[in-house]
Amino acid sequence: MNEVAKNQLSPRRKLINFLVHLLLAILSVIWLLPIFWIILTSFRAEPGAYTNTFLPQGYTFNNYIKLFTDRNVLNFPKMFMNTLIIAIFTCIFSTFFVLSVSYSLSRMRFAFRKPYMNIAMILGLFPGFMAMVAQYFILKAMGLTEGSMIRIGLIIVYSACTGLGFQIAKGFFDTIPRSIDEAAVMDGATQWQVFTRITMPLSKPIVIYTVMTSFIAPWVDFVFAKVICRANADQFTVAIGLWNMLQKEYIYQWYTCFAAGAVVISIPIAILFIYMQRFYVEGMSGAVKG
């Protein structure tokens, strides 16, 4: 409305702009400081958890080498493989579960639809932890808490209940016009063909989002893994391994390796997260709209 005033900023506006940018710069430093610090620590030459200086005195690559070669105490490569196997299977099952449930709730009309959504909401109000304690007993009764069966137990725990997390994908499916489906049905397509040949190709963003979130879940969860694995060290996932490195008995020897491990795990996850955050934003605004 007043173009002239915008082009020739008054001194007061210049000052405000300067202060805003200064504030954002300071905040960015605060937000990035811990990440910066952990990367430095992962290259730190001095051992031990605590040092007398904020910045390392010497730099080395040995922490990374030790992390991937020392298999005696905390076997990180093994934990990495365990988590990878669990993540791949969890990813397959939960992607199928989430997409199936979301598509059915978004597109099909059946008597159980509303009750299902209400039940999902009620179950969401229970502390997730409460079911977990009992899940351990059920897995134990099924013999899935010993030896290599723990992996199957963890895959089940991570994927079995994912049908409750349908909100974001359903919000996305809701935005695809129904007229496309109806046209296909008129041309003689079955619902299955509509699902696999029409909706799925149109929903690439949400499929990618679902695949990535379910693949990431086993890497970043340590609570379920800790309850199910208990003391079976050879079945540990990466998250419990890293957690263990900070416990009293290991922290002096393993602290800088923990930093290295944290960096190794964080880089791929951070890349995936930054790549998929736009789908997250789209899904969120869909979900909020109802």
Q: Which of residues 83-142 bind another protein (CB under 8 A)?
A: 96-97, 100-101, 103-104, 108, 110, 112-113, 116, 122-135, 137-138, 141
Helices (H), the chain: 3-7, 11-42, 62-69, 76-107, 113-124, 128-141, 149-160, 167-174, 178-186, 191-193, 200-202, 204-220, 223-229, 238-245, 251-289
Decide: is 11 part of the binding site for another protein (CB under 8 A): no
Nearer to another protein, 72 or 277 (CB): 277
Interface segment toward another protein; rule CB under 8 A; list 48-56, 59-67, 84-92, 200-208: 48-56
Our finding on whether 161 is near another protein (CB under 8 A) is yes
Residues 257-286 that bind another protein (CB under 8 A): 258, 262, 265-266, 269-271, 273-274, 277, 280-282, 284-285
**Under rule CB under 8 A, how many of the chain's residues touch another protein?**
93
Examine residue 28 and tell whether it contacts another protein (CB under 8 A).
yes
Closest distance to another protein from the beta carbon of 61 (Å): 20
Question: Given the complex with another protein, which of 49 and 233 has the nearer CB atom?
Answer: 49
Which residue's CB is nearer to another protein, number 37 or number 250? 37
How far is 242 from 259, CA to CA, in rounded Å?
9
194 vs 76, 181, 184, CA distance in Å? Answer: 45, 6, 7
Q: In the block, which residue shows the tokens 């890293």?
A: 242
- DSSP lists the bridge partners of residue 269 as none
What is d(CA 264, CA 77) in angstroms, rounded to the nearest whole number? 12
CB of 136 to another protein, least distance (A): 9
The answer to whether residues 63 and 253 touch, using CB atoms and an 8 Å cutoff, is: no
